[in-house]
């Protein structure tokens, strides 16, 4: 009887300390993945200066797995990197502008800068911005995001 309680304590200790143990549901707290509601809200999020990982999805079995991975990654990189999920059937205009035909896909938006006024400016009150967009083609896990951010030079933490 003592062995089972020792085993249970050992497993609890393993689950609480091992960062990459994936066989047990993790307590991630409240969801850190933002849900897309409008392009205006998305632009406001970009203006905060943080990189934004955007998952363009449709409902499928793979999307459920992707949602879990996004939740884990969002919890790990919060508050330095924002994660957002766009349901393409609800917001087809935003997804069509990305010109992709296979779903789900992930893109990372970062470094918004004010763009020059090339061409004809129709309204002087409109400010144009350019944003770096990088397609994500690494492993769908927090580890994959970490490696991707390292290679792209995106800072995942900031000194205090």
Residue 127: what pLDDT? Answer: 61
SS3 137: coil
Residue 20: what pLDDT? Answer: 57
Residue 83: what pLDDT? Answer: 92
**82-87 sheet: strands from edge to edge:** 33-35, 82-87, 52-57, 105-114, 129-136
Residue 156: what pLDDT? Answer: 73
Residue 18: what pLDDT? Answer: 65
CB atoms within 10 A of CB 66: 17
Asked if residue 67 lies in contact with residue 85, where contact means CB atoms within 8 angstroms, the answer is yes
106: β partners? 55, 136
- Say how far apart CA 74 and CA 32 lie, in whole Å: 6
Residue 19: what pLDDT? Answer: 57
Residue 84: what pLDDT? Answer: 92
Both tokens assigned to 134: 């990088």
Residue 25: what pLDDT? Answer: 58
Give the mean pLDDT per block of 10 residues along the chain (160 residues): 71 68 63 88 86 86 82 86 90 84 84 58 61 79 84 71
SS3 28: coil
- Say how far apart CA 71 and CA 157 lie, in whole Å: 18
Residue 131: what pLDDT? Answer: 74
């Amino acid at each position: 009887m003592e062995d089972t309680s020792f085993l249970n304590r050992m497993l609890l200790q393993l689950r609480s300390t091992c960062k990459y143990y994936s066989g047990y549901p993790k307590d991630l707290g409240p969801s850190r993945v933002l849900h897309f509601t409008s392009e205006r809200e998305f632009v406001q999020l970009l203006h905060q200066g943080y990189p934004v990982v955007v998952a363009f999805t449709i409902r499928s079995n793979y999307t459920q797995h992707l949602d879990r991975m996004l939740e884990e990654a969002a919890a790990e990189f919060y508050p330095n990197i924002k994660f957002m999920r766009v349901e393409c059937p609800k917001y087809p205009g935003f997804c069509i502008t990305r010109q992709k035909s296979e779903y789900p896909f992930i893109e990372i938006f970062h470094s918004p800068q004010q763009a020059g006024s090339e061409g004809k400016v129709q309204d002087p009150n409109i400010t144009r911005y350019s944003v770096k967009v990088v397609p994500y083609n690494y492993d769908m896990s927090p580890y994959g995001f970490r490696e991707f951010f390292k290679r792209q030079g995106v800072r995942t933490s900031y000194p205090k």
